[in-house]
Chains A and B, each alone.
Chain A
Amino acid sequence: MDPTIAFILLTDGLAGSALYLIIGLGLVLIFSVTRVIFVPFGSIAVFAALSLGAMELGRLPAAIPLIGLFVLLALFMECLRMRRQHSWRQWPRVLGVWGVLPLLPCALAAWASYQSAELVKVAAAVLLAVPLGPLIERVALRPIAHSSVLALLIVALVLDQVLSGLGLLWFGPEGLRTSAALEGSLTLSSGLAINYQTLLTMAVAFGLALVFYVVLQRTRIGKVLHATASNPTGARLVGIRPAFTATIAHLIAALLAGIVGVLISPVATIYYDSGLILTLKAFVAAIIGGMSSYPLTALGALLVGVSESFASFWNSGLKDAIVFGLLIPILVIRSGLAPHHEEEEEGDA
């Protein structure tokens, strides 16, 4: 392998790493706050990407009916809750939060699909992903929030199947690539160049990681999330509502998913079911971080992205298998580090 190819593979790998880093941040955030291994993350990113593609073709993105469906379900469940708790007075707030707010990005997207400015469409696609996180949490995860991690994982996995099934139904089986890429490249020396799109991806990931760090360490909401993650019972005792933190965590994660969607769609062909494999590779990174450490997850993302890129040079059909194979040494090291992991105890289900 000559240095030029190695350099190209390395930059490709770094761009991939950047994406896995963003996904990994969202996954670790949701897992630490809600114990949910949020498998549908990648599918939300795919919805953002496919919606952008649809808007570029001047069509209404299918994420709109999806959000509409979830809004109806969420409102229905909120009504049931209000009836159970005799709290009908909350209806204006409920209608605002679960009815109107999620539909705003839909309106924006509907408007943007008739605009010509690419940036508007990109922004609309990102925002379109945002309501999906909290809506999915409200409809499917909150009712069983107290189940075991494994039950939550099954539900998350099935949710991903539902989302990709709906994606297939509404977007169709064809893959697509969007044109929202930055053109051109930065020439370093003879033959060595980095695409602007790659640089943009890395810059966004780096910036987001920085924002994540600052938000979690410095702001009030960050501290609330941090408190819930490190001691859920303690957080409840000081008045932090678990449902609220879960909604915030899913909101942030969905925003990240939207960003991943628009960053990846110009460089890779996205199909309705591309989400799962995207999420799982980021999970390999998150497992390196023990599903709890953000810096180690970043390191893991780097490892996954770069090895994927080099693996694809060697055998593109097996590159995913090779990345998952990375899990084996990682898990061996982890189980050596933590031989006395305490499992959760369960009663007879």
Chain B
Amino acid sequence: MRSRFCNVGLPLAGLVLIALVPQWLGAFHVALLNDIGIATLVVLGLVLVSGIGGALSFGQAAFVGIAAYTSAWLSTAQAASPWLGLLLALLFTCGSAWILGSITMRLGGHYLALSTIAWGLAVPLVFANTPALGSHSGIDGIPPIQIGDWVLDQSRSVFVLIWLAVLAGGWFAANLLRSRVGRSVRALRGGKVLMASFGADAFRVRLMLFVMASAYAAVAGWLYAHANRFVSAAPFSLHASIDYVFMMVVGGMAQLLSALLGSTLYIGLNNVLQDVLPLFTSRGAQVNSLVFALLFLLILERVPGGIGRPLARLLSRVRPGRPVQTAFDPASVLPRRALPARGELVVSVRNVVKRFGGLVAVNDVSFDVHAGEIVGLIGPNGAGKSTLFNLLTGTLPLTAGSVQFMGDPITGLSQRDVALQGVARTFQHVKLRPGMTLLENAALGAHARGRCGLWRGGLQLDRQEEACIMAEAMRQLERVGLAGQAHERAGSLPLGTQRLLEIARALAADPVILMLDEPAAGLRLLEKQALARLLNTLRSEGVTVLIVEHDMEFVMNLVDRLVVMNFGSKIAEGAPDDVRADPQVQAAYLGSEA
């Protein structure tokens, strides 16, 4: 399928082009292509952190600048090798990105954007006012890069290095996005509650992306310094950062190839305008930036997906992606955790209280869940079911009381830690990634069972583990009856099927207990029946389930035991028939006269 083409075809074609292009084109066009390559590297990083990760950075040009100045200063004032310059440039750039990211990423999205704007303004000011860095006149006489005896002092020779870097960077990023870490990257926009539910830390994933983007910028800056042999503060200004964002938006934020498309269009158009505008006006440079700003506005308002998206749609019409039935080796299995024996105590809720200000949402509730049973937590609207559910999964902190899981207190643990202990959950308002396939969505659930990180993912050293994760995801899809649609996009599913997919994702985590938040809400009768059948099968396989539900009928025929809540308190507990006969329950559901 596509991955074959992307893995082998594209890099090969790229290598051939890198070898041939400098022979065909004149020096001017090669230099232009060098600019495009350097910009593509920067925008690749930006697509990762902003387009896919959703954290907007206006500081990329500043990162490019830090790297360029580091290497320029080292190789002139210190006469060090440019390769040492690359190393230190990476170190400084990634270090500053790490610091900047760790203090802003925990806050809302616009804090990173605003701080990087300030960063993007401040860094060039520091360059322009530091005498050791040549102040306003910059640093010149930067030596070219040398590989052995080969001196890259011509634009034709630097071209090879620049585009090899672009190719390597693109290959790494594309691999990464298809890996375990990459799936969590693509899930970032689903929010951190979703991320935590399968054991990923949204903050850390974003921070990793931000540092990675700065590393791309660092390589670009290093290439820039040694290709142009001169640096000054101006090309690293905030305007340049905005231009990078422009290239990303034009190309279509969320795809890697758009980095190439966007920077080619931008630099190409810029070049054309520089030739054309002086024919009409004496103030060409001023009109030029104005034209770009207006164009940017128009694209943002009229084609917010960038021109990469319609183009991609056109391409997929020409070359429709063939859904390939990947065969899964039954021997590829992930390690499983030791599950408790049937009847063992799994969850023990003791005197749990939750207050929101003066409102007592959950008042002194206690109950147990044992391994292998399905427990229903029911109650009329506003009974405090969902609040209790959030307390059990660590989404909300308790006011008083305790929750024990497998004998250990989980009170005060974060949502992610609770998930890592073996509590898998689904959501009342389904949280799936509509752009990812069913298989990938299910594979998200197995996130915490994998170990391969950024490097192994990016360098394709994770093949074995990936096969296991995918086989596991496929097994869970089979279990809920969705194996036939594994390669469809999750966004195209009806609500009932989406709920089943969420259950498959939860099962992929190999959970000790499955917690379902109103799984029947909004489902049609047939869908409810399918869901009930699935849950019955799961019970017979020994899965422990806690269902929070509003729909009395749905749970009555399904669960082993019911806990009934009303106005925050537990009013009954027991087998469905006993609960049905309970006068308090009847009063709560039907009014006191019933």
Contact = CB atoms under 8 A, between A and B. Distances in A.
Contact of A165 (B58, B191, B293): B293
Contact of B304 (A147, A276, A277, A325): A147
A331 B189 contact: no
A182 interface: no
A165 B242 contact: no
A349 B254 contact: yes
Contacts of A277: 121
Given A154-B300, A161-B289, A320 B58 contact: no
Nearest to A153: B113
A348 B440 CA distance: 15
A239 interface: no
A92 interface: no
Contacts of A158: 242, 246, 293, 296-297, 300
A57 B226 CA distance: 49
Given A153-B113, A155-B301, A161-B242, A345 B128 contact: no
B542 interface: no
A317 interface: yes
A343 B304 contact: no
A145 B193 CA distance: 26
Interface string A142-157: 0110011111011101
B301 A150 contact: no
B310 interface: no
Interface string B293-310: 110110011001100000
Contacts of A143: 301
B290 A339 contact: no
B239 to A, nearest CB: 8
Contacts of B191: 342-343, 345
B297 A155 contact: yes
B118 interface: yes
Contacts of B117: 157, 280, 283
B453 interface: no
A151 to B, nearest CB: 7
A155 B122 CA distance: 22
Given A140-B301, A348-B434, A349-B305, A328 B293 contact: no
Given A169-B290, A335-B106, A284 B297 contact: no
A335 B114 contact: no
Given A324-B118, A341-B108, A349 B290 contact: no
A333 to B, nearest CB: 10
B253 interface: yes
A169 B286 contact: yes
A348 to B, nearest CB: 4
Nearest to A316: B129
Nearest to B123: A321
B287 interface: yes
A325 B435 contact: no
Contacts of A148: 109
A349 B107 contact: no
B56 interface: yes
B38 to A, nearest CB: 22
Interface in A308-349: 315, 317-318, 320-321, 324-325, 327-328, 331-332, 334-335, 338-339, 341-349
A36 to B, nearest CB: 10
A37 interface: yes
B570 to A, nearest CB: 28
Given A287-B114, A320-B125, A154 B56 contact: yes
A248 interface: no
A108 interface: no
A349 B253 contact: yes
Nearest to B127: A321
A157 B242 contact: yes
Contacts of A345: 189-191
Interface string B190-228: 111000000000100000000000000000000000000
Nearest to A147: B304
A144 B118 contact: no
B54 interface: yes
Given A153-B110, A166-B290, A169-B290, A315 B115 contact: no
Nearest to A160: B293
B249 interface: yes
Contact of B254 (A153, A344, A348): A348
Nearest to A37: B110
A162 interface: yes
Nearest to B414: A340
B499 interface: no
Given A317-B128, A320-B125, A348 B189 contact: yes
Contact of B107 (A147, A154, A335): A335
A165 B245 contact: no
Contact of A325 (B122, B128, B129): B122
Nearest to B115: A327
B104 interface: yes
Interface string B223-252: 000000000000000110010011001000
Given A150-B110, A153-B56, A346 B125 contact: no
Interface in A268-285: 276-277, 280, 283-284
A154 B249 contact: yes
A149 B190 CA distance: 16
A100 interface: no
B491 interface: yes
B283 interface: yes
Contacts of A37: 110, 113-114
B433 interface: yes
Contact of A151 (B283, B300, B435): B300
Interface in A155-183: 155, 157-159, 161-162, 165-166, 168-169
A155 B128 CA distance: 28
Interface in A251-267: none
Contacts of B118: 280, 283-284, 324, 327
A151 B189 CA distance: 14
B58 A318 contact: no
A318 B301 contact: no
A331 B102 CA distance: 10
B309 to A, nearest CB: 9
Contacts of A315: 129
A349 B249 CA distance: 12
Nearest to B238: A276
B114 to A, nearest CB: 6
Contact of B297 (A140, A338, A349): A140
A23 to B, nearest CB: 14
Given A325-B122, A343-B192, A162 B297 contact: yes
A218 B380 CA distance: 41
Contact of B125 (A159, A284, A321, A341): A321
Nearest to B124: A321
A344 B110 CA distance: 11
Given A321-B121, A324-B119, A349-B254, 18 more contacts: A150-B56, A150-B113, A161-B242, A161-B289, A165-B286, A277-B121, A280-B121, A283-B117, A287-B111, A320-B122, A334-B111, A341-B108, A342-B191, A343-B108, A345-B191, A346-B54, A347-B189, A348-B433
Interface of B: 54, 56, 58, 103-104, 106-111, 113-115, 117-119, 121-123, 125-126, 128-129, 189-192, 202, 238-239, 242, 245-246, 249, 253-254, 283, 286-287, 289-290, 293-294, 296-297, 300-301, 304-305, 433-435, 491
6 contacts: A169-B287, A318-B126, A328-B103, A339-B106, A347-B189, A349-B254
Nearest 9 pairs between A and B by C-beta? A317-B129, A165-B290, A324-B118, A321-B122, A345-B191, A348-B435, A161-B293, A324-B122, A335-B106
